[in-house]
Structure 1
Amino acid sequence: MIRYYQVGAEGGEAFETSESAVVPILQWLEFGVFAGILVGFVYAIVEFIFEKFQLNKLATGLVLLEKSLIYLLMLILSTNYIVGLIEQQIDRNLPNEQGWWKENKVFWLVVGYFIVCSLIFSFLKIAKEKFGKGVLFNQLIGKYKKPREEERIFMFLDLKGSTTIAEQLGHYKYSELIQECFYDLNRVITNYSAEIYQYVGDEAVISWTFKKGIKNNNCVELFFKFQDRLLKKQKAYLKHFGLQPKFKAGLHGGKLIVTEVGTLKKEIAFHGDVINTSARIQGECNKYNESLLISEELLDKLNLQKFKIRSIGNIPLKGKEEEVRLFSINKE
């Protein structure tokens, strides 16, 4: 479309007056779709490679510079290929000599278009990483301007023996350990429809809508998948930190209030007994030497036939008048 409508281009006005111009414009659209798929595919490959090899851990400015150079090279190669196809199709001489793109206005117009689109996509990606999936959209439509009641599942995930590990490693090395663990958590979390609510020190608070949390036992499967990933990287953890990190977690679900709070640093906040109970349940893991504890109320909603379930009993939790029946979950 940009090539067809460019100012001063041959045939640019024909589209408005000639019916025969329908065929050429369809050809341009065909090439536009082809070009979009080609560029989009390469764009996705670049993003995948940066994610796969953890290159996004580099400084943001350096990552943007590297990606920009790759995208520019990609545009030069792809436009050279596409221009050749167009030239054959419409039987018209187009600029294709070596270095033609350096002074070609259409090429740099395409580059400008690509930069604008990249900035938009980058903004959406950063917003998703910063606020979590769906949070930006909910803030834009004002979904939580007024408190709303929702049914959700919460998991409080905490590093075992964190105090001892911090003393052993020192605060800098310990911070690197937590960073690496949470990076591994992020690699698996999207596969189980989960959302990160907060990071608090060495603790991560994970949330699901009730429907997504119980579907395929997502709220339980995530914990063991995270454990498997840590074990898979055991050699790397032992080499860099001299230990194998292990986590404990508490699971509970129910109704609570969701609302938007703050003006300078807005966030979606959850208020209710569900969060407090989930945190207290996780706090009982050390006492009973278990890695994953769950309330009976949530356990009844799940189908955990392939797991080993053991009753802990009715446990008094701090801040709650009634005792809560807890169960441990382990792999068979």
Structure 2
Amino acid sequence: MSRTFRQYLLFTLQSIGFWMLAFSFLIVIRYFGVFEEKGVSVLPKYRLALTDLLAFVSLVSIPFGIFYAAIEFLFDRFLSKSLSLGIVIFAKTVIYLILLVVLVSFVVDYTGYILDDSTETGNDWWYTNKTFWTIVVFFIVASLVFSFIKIANEKFGRGVFINMLLGKYRKPQEEKRIFMFLDLKSSTTIAENLGHYTYSQLIQDCFYDLNSIVQRYDAEIYQYVGDEAVLSWTYERGIKRNNAVQLYFTFQKRLNTRRNHYQEKYGLIPEFKAGIHGGTLMVAEVGSIKKELAYHGDVINTTARIQAECNTFNANVLISESLLQEMKLRKIFTTKRINDLLLKGKVQTINIYSISTEN
């Protein structure tokens, strides 16, 4: 819960900062635009200093940013799966419109900044006010920009989108990362028993539960391949707080918490197996259509091979010795060494360990 709260707090701070910049930009454009318009007569009481306006807007942006972040967070966490995208967009639009009416009414009442006709009275002033609808259009555009940045960060991982904009990955770059290959146990048998349609629903549910905890452990989804998910961390984030290990057990705990749902709908409780490994590899932009980041190197292949050994040793989680030595696992974790293995496609043997926990 504490990690979820930190995640929400960070998103709230980002929302406040974004809307401070967005509304300040609007104020600057509106301020100079109005005073530079020929034929516009501005009464002395409206001649507010730009710094005063910016300070006031900054204060207004704080509750707006908090409210905006709360709506986005609640919809993403609790309603995005059960409601269609159209209903979600419509509901958000209505809520934001109400919020804008309240916000702009506050500005009108206490600053007189709405210069089109600041003497308007009545609760329906906003319906015909051109300045208000200008603000609405600006808000829609700014909201789309904010959503685009949010989606891009979720797709590529924190900071990666900015690096792509700056062209960092136009040429292959060397990075040190941790990968986890996460695969559904007995997937072939389950698919045969459930049928392809119900099986696809099962995978949807499992990955939805996975997505609900991914950001909590600073992980990035690299790929979905059938019933397998490939997760990635920067080396520092994966080691920090045992994120690269803890995520698996939290995910399995999440599935067990919803055991009644899975048992009633699918007649089973899904279990996943995972292989974890890290090291240096190359990352680069690939493709001109559906452009994405691709990782190349032995780390990817080795992680996949480690995961494939889970069935052989009846283990839920296997991790390479080199990565385990750099992690300071909490006492709740129990590790067991597996003899040197010559993984498929490898020339040299590699030491791996199984990880388990009673919690």
State if a TM-score over 0.5 links the two structures: yes
Deviation at 1:24, TM superposition (A): 4.6
Q: Please give the secondary structure, in 2, of the residue aligned with 1:139.
A: helix
Amino acid at match of 2:42: G
Counterpart in 2 of 1:18?
none
Q: 1:98 aligns with which of 123, 140, 147?
A: 123
Amino acid at match of 1:143: K
Counterpart in 2 of 1:11?
42
Deviation at 1:10, TM superposition (A): 5.1
1:248 aligned onto 2:279: no
* Mapped partners of 1:233, 1:78: distance in 2: 41
Deviation at 1:168, TM superposition (A): 1.6
1:325 aligned onto 2:351: yes
Contact 1:3 1:106 in 2 (8 A): no
Matches within 5 A, 1:1-332: 1=27, 6=34, 11=42, 21=47, 24-55=49-80, 58-86=83-111, 94-306=119-331, 307-332=333-358
For residues 199-255 of structure 1, give each alpha carbon's deviation from its aligned partner in whole angstroms, at most 9, with x where no partner exists. Answer: 100101111111221122111111111111111222222222221111100011111
Amino acid at match of 1:296: E
Q: Which moved more, 1:281-290 or 1:48-57?
A: 48-57
* Mapped partners of 2:218, 2:43: distance in 1: 49
Q: Please give the secondary structure, in 2, of the residue aligned with 1:96.
A: coil
Contact 2:100 2:136 in 1 (8 A): yes
Amino acid at match of 1:325: N
TM-align CA RMSD:
2.5
Q: Please give the secondary structure, in 2, of the residue aligned with 1:237.
A: helix
- Counterparts in 2 of 1:104 and 1:67: CA distance versus 1, 3 Å: same
- Counterparts in 2 of 1:255 and 1:4: CA distance versus 1, 3 Å: closer
* Mapped partners of 2:234, 2:304: distance in 1: 18
Q: Which moved more, 1:3-12 or 1:39-48?
A: 3-12
* Mapped partners of 1:12, 1:205: distance in 2: 63
Q: Please give the secondary structure, in 2, of the residue aligned with 1:41.
A: helix
Q: Please give the secondary structure, in 2, of the residue aligned with 1:300.
A: helix
Contact 2:277 2:320 in 1 (8 A): yes
Q: Please give the secondary structure, in 1, of the residue aligned with 2:168.
A: coil
Deviation at 1:300, TM superposition (A): 0.8
Identity %: 52
Contact 1:250 1:293 in 2 (8 A): yes
- Counterparts in 2 of 1:253 and 1:80: CA distance versus 1, 3 Å: same
Amino acid at match of 1:40: G
Q: Please give the secondary structure, in 1, of the residue aligned with 2:144.
A: helix
Report the TM-score, using the length of structure 2 for normalisation.
0.83
For residues 54-102 of structure 1, give each alpha carbon's deviation from its aligned partner in whole angstroms, at most 9, with x where no partner exists. Answer: 3255433332222112211221233234433336xxxx96323121111
Report the TM-score, using the length of structure 1 for normalisation.
0.89
* Mapped partners of 1:303, 1:86: distance in 2: 57
- Counterparts in 2 of 1:3 and 1:262: CA distance versus 1, 3 Å: closer
Deviation at 1:176, TM superposition (A): 1.2
* Mapped partners of 2:43, 2:197: distance in 1: 62
Contact 1:259 1:270 in 2 (8 A): yes
Number of residue pairs aligned between Structure 1 and Structure 2? 323
- Counterparts in 2 of 1:12 and 1:111: CA distance versus 1, 3 Å: farther
